[in-house]
Amino acid sequence: MSKNLDINVHHLTRVEGHGNIVVNMRDGKLERAELHIVEAMRYFEAMMKGRSFHEAAIITSRICGICSLGHQMSSLKATEDALGIEISKQTLLLRKLLVHGATIQSNILHVYFLVAPDLLGAPSVFPLVPTHKDVILRALRMKRLANDIGDIISGRAVHPITPVPGGFTRIPTVGELKEIKRRLIEEGLPDVIETVKTVKAIADGIPNFVRETEYISLRNENEYALYDGDIYSSDTGVTDDHNYLEMTNEFVVPHSTSKHAKHNRTSYMVGALARWNNNYDLLTEISRNAAEELGLTPKCYNPYMNNVAQVVECAHCIEDSIKIIDELLADGLKDEKPNQTPTKYGQGVGATEVPRGILYHEYEYDRQGNIIKANCIIPTGQNLANIDDDMKKLVPEIINKPKKDIVKHLEMLVRAYDPCISCSVHMLNVEFINED
């Protein structure tokens, strides 16, 4: 096969913004298959220097509007770890509930609004409004429910207000929690079961591509780890989260303003599929049934199935949220003030599973409670090397397809990782040079 191929999908994606897919093949030999990240840099680690522990989560929330809750959770955990601040069981449960809300919100948005148009051959969700109105209304209802969990408990789903070091500035009322629970039961559960049917009906369009890689996620023996757990690698097992740098090994590549990461191999995967592969034994019943229904079986090495794992997680989060609310109500809500008295000033790490994967924050504080050093490692950055490796295997496998199909497969691959809402959809200006 002596095939020449040049693909340059300009401004496709990121991690919050802008990236290009670049593929070059010469005489059947793949020279390059890369996701170029051209997003403008933010320099948060530099901005954080000298800021108070009261501000750390307010600032880092602004790294990503879509994962703002996750950033706050990792940030608060890192600060509390560094300052020796304990949190109450009520705070822990309310935070877990918030993480569930944010996960449902993000996964629903991605699967319905960004992935489904691909599977239905539409350029966006908007043309589907008249033809699939019930499905769109269901997606909006699920998103609203998930966002209301954030709005009610944290004041605002995007850049939450109430979560602070040591607790919350406002505790929700019993009535508010009961109302969320009612909606989770009456709307959330039936809607997620319908979602499984919808996805099953269009799942034929999910490409069949297999590449086994290293899967890294949190793992917690008591529950499907989202808010908390140890780091777990499918290759090397458990690592304490304080040793996260051994897992991430970030490095700069010229084709990406976002750093790459690697651990035991040239790349690893984080996100819903990694969590599923590492923790499927801890899912709730409805979510296990959903996985079975959608043909997601352990272990799954098809990165496109990440989107199916996202649906399965929605079912889990809805079911588990009901249990959390029951526990909060059974314990009785207490009007606790946040515990903001540091017992030490040092270094601390926070790791949380946000929708796109494991998110690390690390801070070092001086004796005034101001940040000396900050480090944040974002899930999409961790996935970039893995996406490049997927493309290197995928392109030769589909090289005999028409170029339009090759590009679509590549775009769908990047989108499957849910690199960020912004990233996923605008893979335009596809350029073919030297068509062969």
Partner 1 sequence: MSKPKVAFFDFTSCEGCQLNKLNLEDHLLDILEHIDIVEFREAMDDKADEYDISFIEGSISTPSCIARIHDIRRRSKILIALGACATQGGINAMKNLHPIEEVRETVYGDDKYLFPTLPAMPVSAIVKVDYEVNGCPMSTPEFLKVLKSLLAGQEPIKPDSAVCVECKLRENECLYDRGMVCLGPISKSGCGAICPSFGQFCTGCRGLVSNADKNAMIDILTSHGITLDEAKKRLLLFNSYDHSQSMPK
Note whether 295 binds partner 1 by CB under 8 A. Answer: no
Going by their DSSP bridges, the two strands 5-10 and 19-26 should be labelled as: antiparallel
Query: Rounded to whole angstroms, how far apart are CA atoms 338 and 89?
Result: 12
Minimum distance, C-beta of residue 159 to partner 1, in the bound complex (Å): 5
DSSP 402-435: -HHHHHHHHHHHHHHT---HHHHH--EEEEE-S-
Residue 351 is which amino acid?
A: A
Binds partner 1 (CB under 8 A): choice among 5, 7, 33, 63: 63
Note whether 249 binds partner 1 by CB under 8 A. Answer: no
Minimum distance, C-beta of residue 148 to partner 1, in the bound complex (Å): 10
Report the candidate in 348, 361, 378 with the shortest Cα–Cα distance to residue 74: 361
Minimum distance, C-beta of residue 240 to partner 1, in the bound complex (Å): 26
User: If DSSP codes are grouped into helix, strand and coil, which group holds residue 85?
Assistant: coil
Binding mask 178-217 for partner 1 (x = CB under 8 A): ----------------------------------------
Strand partners, 35: 21
Write phi, then psi, for 312 (nearest 5 degrees): -60, -40
Binding positions for partner 1, 393-432, rule CB under 8 A: 420-428
Binding piece for partner 1, criterion CB under 8 A, among 55-63, 94-102, 201-209, 388-396: 55-63
Q: How many residues touch partner 1 (CB under 8 A)?
A: 60
Binds partner 1 (CB under 8 A): choice among 28, 29, 62, 405: 62
Note whether 55 binds partner 1 by CB under 8 A. Answer: yes
Query: Rounded to whole angstroms, how far apart are CA atoms 172 and 73?
Result: 18
Binds partner 1 (CB under 8 A): choice among 28, 31, 140, 326: 140
Note whether 131 binds partner 1 by CB under 8 A. Answer: no
Minimum distance, C-beta of residue 398 to partner 1, in the bound complex (Å): 21
Note whether 66 binds partner 1 by CB under 8 A. Answer: yes
Note whether 50 binds partner 1 by CB under 8 A. Answer: yes
Binding piece for partner 1, criterion CB under 8 A, among 165-173, 276-284, 285-293, 313-321: 165-173
Binding piece for partner 1, criterion CB under 8 A, among 51-59, 189-197, 284-292, 392-400: 51-59
* Contact between 338 and 164 (Cβ < 8 Å): yes
* Contact between 270 and 217 (Cβ < 8 Å): yes
Q: Which residue has the tokens 């501000």?
A: 55
Handedness of CA 265, 271, 272, 275 (dihedral sign): positive
- Which H or E run contains 398? none
Q: How far is the CA of 183 from the CAs of 73, 126, 127, 321, in angstroms? A: 25, 27, 29, 11
* C-alpha triplet 66, 376, 300: angle, nearest 5°: 65
Binding positions for partner 1, 107-126, rule CB under 8 A: 109, 113-114, 123-126
Binds partner 1 (CB under 8 A): choice among 93, 158, 203, 398: 158
Minimum distance, C-beta of residue 300 to partner 1, in the bound complex (Å): 27
Structure-token pair, residue 153: 């408990």
Binding piece for partner 1, criterion CB under 8 A, among 151-159, 237-245, 306-314, 386-394: 151-159
Going by their DSSP bridges, the two strands 29-37 and 19-26 should be labelled as: antiparallel
Query: Rounded to whole angstroms, how far apart are CA atoms 172 and 87?
Result: 17
Torsion of CA 180, 181, 185, 189, to 10 degrees: 70
| Structure letter (DSSP) for residue 62 | G
Residue 12 is which amino acid?
A: L
Note whether 156 binds partner 1 by CB under 8 A. Answer: yes
Note whether 333 binds partner 1 by CB under 8 A. Answer: no
Binding piece for partner 1, criterion CB under 8 A, among 60-68, 174-182, 221-229, 320-328: 60-68
Closer Cβ to partner 1, 181 or 408, answer by number: 408
Binds partner 1 (CB under 8 A): choice among 27, 28, 31, 42: 42
Closer Cβ to partner 1, 149 or 291, answer by number: 149
User: Which spans of this chain sit near partner 1 (rule: CB under 8 A)?
Assistant: 11, 16-17, 40-43, 45-47, 49-52, 55, 58-59, 62-66, 68, 109, 113-114, 123-126, 129, 136, 140-141, 143-144, 147, 155-159, 161-162, 164, 168-170, 252, 254, 257, 420-428
